[in-house]
Amino acid sequence: MTHTGYVLDDTVLHAYAHDSLTTISLIAHLADRGMRVAVPALALATTKASLNEQQREGLDGMIDNNAVIALAGVTNLAETNELADMFAATEHLDPAAAHTIAVARCFDWEIITHDRKRWQTIEQVLPWPIELVELSDDAP
């Protein structure tokens, strides 16, 4: 499968907001390569709920100042149906994860995560595998 882009999950957004060098470097690398990146709106909102104003502004700046990064919302009826299907498939366990999966399926892109374990519960209820790329920690 040829990937023309990636979807960032809430663990990556959280790491970026907390100045993870791995995450900042990855996003800079993707931008330099012109690789498209989607940020699911529900994952962003979920992440922002635990951040201070400065961290929220940092995430907003990452999205606003990178032409290759786009906020992925729910903007039409087909997208509401896809999101509804993901809510049902994930048994309403995690709306941010459901939206992230819906965006990834829409674009046929992999999800970048800092924590594969974050997806274990969701993977157990889905009838298909989730394509994940896991980033390592900043530790050497």
**For range 48-67, the mean pLDDT:** 97
Residue 52's alpha-carbon distances to 31, 55, 57, in angstroms, are 26, 5, 9
**For range 121-134, the mean pLDDT:** 92
Q: Which residues contact 114 (CB under 8 A, 6 or more apart)?
A: 9, 11, 12, 14, 15, 20, 22, 23, 134, 135, 137
CATH architecture of 5-134: 3-Layer(aba) Sandwich (3.40)
Q: How far apart, in whole angstroms, are the C-alpha atoms of residue 51 and residue 70? A: 20
Confidence of residue 117 (pLDDT cuts 50, 70, 90): very high
**Of 85, 90, 77, 79, whose CA–CA distance to 41 is shortest?**
79
% of the chain surpassing 90 pLDDT: 75
% of the chain surpassing 70 pLDDT: 95
**For range 60-84, the mean pLDDT:** 92
**Of 11, 98, 90, whose CA–CA distance to 47 is shortest?**
11
pLDDT number for residue 15: 97
Structure tokens that stand for 130 in this block: 């989730």
